[in-house]
Amino acid sequence: MSTRVCEYQIRWLLVVLAGLIVVISPEVEGYPLSYAVASDARALLEFAEGIDDPNGKLQSWQKTDNDPCLWNGVLCETTASGEVRVTQLDLSNSSLSGFLGCDLARLTALTVLDLSYNGFKGSIPGCLGSLCQLEELVLEHNSLEGSIPSGVANCTRKLRILDLSDNLLSGSIPSTVGNLSSLETLDLGTNELTGTIPSSIQRLVELVELSLLDNLLYGSLPSGIGNLRNLEVLLLYTNGLNGTLPASMGNMASLKTIRIGANNFSGSLPYAFGNLTSLEFLGATNNKLTGIDTPFEQMPGLITLQLYNNQISGPIPKNLGMCTNLQTLALYDNQFTGGIPAELGNLTNLKNLYLYGNHLEGGVPPELQNCRSLVELDISQGGLSGPLPELYGLEYLELVALWSNHLTGRIPEAWGSLKSLKTIDVSNNSLTGRIPEVLGSLPNLEKLSLYTNELTGRIPDSFGNLTGLVSLDLSENELTGPIPGFLGKTVSSVNWLFLDQNSLTGPIPESLVNCTSLSVVQLGNNLLSGGLPWNIGHIGPSLITLSIPNAGLEGEIPPSLGNCTGLIALDLSRNQLRGSLPPTLQGLDNSLRIFSVRENELSGEFPPWISQLGNLQVLDLSRNNFSGVMNFSFYDLKAFMNGSTGVSENYEVEITISAKGSTQTLIYILSMSYFLDLSENNFTGSIPEQLGELRDLKYLTLSGNRFSGSIPESFANLVNIESLDLSRNQLSGVIPQELTSLTSLSYFNVSGNHLYGQIPEGDTFRTFPSSYFLDNDDLCGFPLNPCGHPPPEVPGNYPPSRETPGANGDALVSYWAVGIGFFIGFTGVAASLTLNKKARTLMFKPREPVYSEAVIFNKQYAIYRWPKDS
């Protein structure tokens, strides 16, 4: 009986206790949960309270919900202790934002925390280091800042993945990271981390991937980095690391990828790299390496070798020919010498061969024809000689670039069988003969650049079959015959057309206006006849540059040209154009920066609408028959006043100009170069005072007109002026003393006027010769005779004749040269504007970065090129 009573009491006690557990157990306003998982739920809800969730990813996180294990991004598991706990939280790519707090640190069973690709900001809480079960911590691609908390390694000894990449983290890499003994992936790339790589990192012997790319790290690699024998991927590029590459790296036998470019590593590529028999990708570009000691014959698995933009000298290693799996070999922009090894012909899997920008010599080895997988071949900018290679059988070849070498002979007829070709650039060589008709049978050809050679004959009619042609540059050759009529008919997709500096004859085809994608047209220095197509404006706003100087053009400037509202550079100089400037050109007010109609037969008064061209930086109306008084407002020429043209500072060009009595080569940024030349016309009246407000003017030439009155005192405001030519006018009065403040002025010619009085005294004026002041009424003072003393009679000392342009004033600025550049990634352009051959490039190379567009022209002819950014 007593036993039954006791049993009954025990059962009753258990029921009571169970009821008490239900009463006092925490819950999420639903059915009762275990204490642990309910605590996890509360931690998650408190975390969510401070989160901005525009897409409702956390909408299922509700107190009234049954179970947090059913919430979006939450995974629960039964732990070893038998409890159901939140073990994974994955809210990646959820458009969340806000700050991270220590609420998540209460999820003590958490093994995976992934908040990547969101907008979290603030610092990383150090309390996350208390998550002792954590195996994956992924906070990639947020806006987290501050330093990496050293406490992150306090308890997380099980951590296998630590990814904090693509944030705004700063400070140094904590040495405690070396305590993460189970770590397999460490990615701290694309932050703002500084300091050196801690030596403790060599203790991470389980590490498979190490990425510290795109930071501000410096110093040398830890000497013991070779301890990471399981490492497969090493990404250290885009930092400031220096020193030599440790030989211990040869111990990292599991390495498949090494990318250490864009640092300051020096010395040679180590011999020990030959032990990396599993290596597939080796990139050590943009460093200061000087040699190669690596036995590549021990690396048969190598697929990509990129060593470009270093200082490596000596011959190209022949043992590269034993890397039979090699697909990309990029050794460009180094100092390699000698010939191209014939052994490279063994690389039957090679797709990309880039050797340009070295000091190679000899010919292109015929063995390269054995590289049957070749897609891109670029051996430009070297010292290669001999004929062009035949390249038989390279059916996948898309690019041939051999420009700026010393290659001779004819373009091979065999190239007509390379049906995959998209780009041919053999410019700036010494090629002769006719352009092969068979090139017109290349169905995929987009870019053909043959400029600066000695090619003769006509432009092949077969080119009319190149319906996908985008860029055609045949300039600076000896071509004859007409501009082909297929342009604008069967070939209408051309963007860039360069036919300048040949002996082409006949009119410009009317069909050219149907090429509505044209950006640049360069036809100058030919023997053309007729005028511009009257409906040239049909090309429309795509046209950026139209340059046809010294080409024999006649007639009037078509009014439709004003429809080319994207035009930046217009050069029609040295032709026989007549009539007035069409007022429709004021439609170019938002684009035109360079306008030259120098040396034509244009007439009429100074067009008042020119003041509307607010972006003008170069205006040359010289040597025409313009007349009248310049009585319009110059205040709208805003570019001349404050340089506000919107031109990028990257628009840099090296130009040669004839100025200040000598020829000079200068490097200009377009936004700093401003020229105004109205010389050799019939302008009358006073020089407008407003010209003095064009503060950014560097060259102002008004010589050879009939200006009267005094020299404006406002010229003292031209603080950037370097050359001022007022010679051979009818100016009177004294030279303003205020001009002595123009410290940049190095050429000042007022000869052939009616000036009198003392020449201003000042350091600038003491540098000017007497010829700049001759043939005036009564000027005195240095460099002429002292005031109050009669001039001595010097036989043969005559002033320049007013009927002999160029005796003095014309030597000042016989013309100008200006460049405009455009970068989709890129860049600078250099040109020496003479009639000699020059290294200029058009073709878009198969390389990074994106290529820029450039425009260059001078008084003799115009040059427009798209150079590669090395």
What is the domain-level CATH number for residue 567? 3.80.10.10
DSSP assignment, residue 716? G
Mean pLDDT of the chain: 85
Q: How confident is the model at residue 630 (pLDDT cuts 50, 70, 90)?
A: confident
pLDDT at 715: 95
**3-state secondary structure (DSSP) of residue 718:** coil
Q: Is residue 61 part of a domain?
A: no
pTM here is 0.83
Return the minimum-mean-pLDDT range out of 359-368, 443-452, 820-829: 820-829
Check residue 36 and give its pLDDT: 83
611 lies in a domain? yes
- Position 198 in a domain: no
* Inter-residue contact 743 to 764 (CB < 8 Å): yes
245 vs 793: CA distance, rounded Å: 77
What's the distance, CA 257 to chain centroid?
A: 27
Write the pLDDT tens digit of every residue in 631-681.
766 656 666 656 544 444 333 333 333 344 443 434 434 444 688 999 999
Assess if residue 538 is contained within a domain: no
pLDDT tens digits, one per residue of 722-764: 999 999 999 999 999 999 999 999 999 999 999 999 999 988 8
| 389 class by beta-carbon count within 10 Å (0-12 exposed, 13-18 middle, 19+ buried) | buried
| DSSP conformation letters of 150-206 | GGGGSS-TT--EEE--SSEEEEPPPGGGGG-TT--EEE--SSEE-SPPPGGGGG-TT
- Nearest residue to 572 (alpha-carbon basis) of 539, 608, 503, 620: 620
**What's the pLDDT band for 614 if we cut at 50, 70, 90?**
confident
Q: Within a domain: residue 571?
A: yes
Say which residue, 189 or 830, is predicted with more confidence.
Answer: 189
Number of Cβ within 10 Å of residue 688's Cβ equals 17
Closest C-alpha among 743, 726, 739 to residue 808: 726
- The letter for the amino acid at 289 is L
Tokens 């090679």: give the residue.
350
Amino acid residing at 576:
Q
Residue 848 placed within a domain: yes
| Mean pLDDT across 790-814 | 40
pLDDT at residue 8 greater than cutoff 80? no
The structure tokens 């979006």 sit at 72
Least confident of 327-331, 708-712, 839-843: 839-843
In-domain check, residue 113: no
Over residues 709-713, the mean pLDDT reads 96
Residue 474 falls in which region: left (phi positive, over 0), alpha (psi -120 to 50) or beta? alpha
Question: In the predicted model, what is the mean pLDDT of residues 525-530?
Answer: 96
Number of alpha helices (DSSP H) and beta strands (DSSP E) in the chain:
3, 63
User: What percentage of residues in the chain have a pLDDT greater than 90?
Assistant: 75
| E strand residue ranges, 389-464 | 399-401, 406-409, 423-425, 430-434, 447-449, 454-457
- Residue of 846, 858, 854, 844 lying closest to 814 (CA atoms): 858
Look at residue 352 and give its three-state secondary structure: strand
250-295 tens-digit pLDDT: 999 999 999 999 999 999 999 999 999 999 999 999 999 999 999 9
Of 196, 272, 261, the residue nearest 234 (C-alpha): 261
Over residues 89-107, mean pLDDT: 96
On whether the CB atoms of residues 120 and 139 are closer than 8 A, the answer is yes
- Can you give the pLDDT at residue 451? 97
In this predicted structure, what is the pLDDT of residue 612? 86
Per-residue confidence (pLDDT) for residue 843, from 0 to 100: 32
The pLDDT tens digits of the residues spanning 302-321 come to 999 999 999 999 999 999 99
Distant-in-sequence, close-in-space partners of 507: CB < 8 Å, separation ≥ 6:
482, 483, 528, 529, 530
Q: Provide the number of structural domains found in the chain.
A: 1
Instruction: Give the pLDDT of residue 653.
Output: 32
Average the pLDDT over 500-508 and give the result: 97
Asked if residue 623 lies in contact with residue 679, where contact means CB atoms within 8 angstroms, the answer is: yes
Token digits for 690?
């407003």
More confident residue, 109 or 25: 109
Task: Give the per-residue pLDDT at 66.
Answer: 64
Please state, in angstroms and as integers, the Cα–Cα distance from residue 198 to each residue in 174, 222, 643, following that order.
7, 7, 49
Look at residue 812 and give its three-state secondary structure. Answer: coil
Q: Is residue 332 part of a domain?
A: no
Q: What domain range is 816 assigned to?
A: 559-863
Place of tokens 């809800």: 45
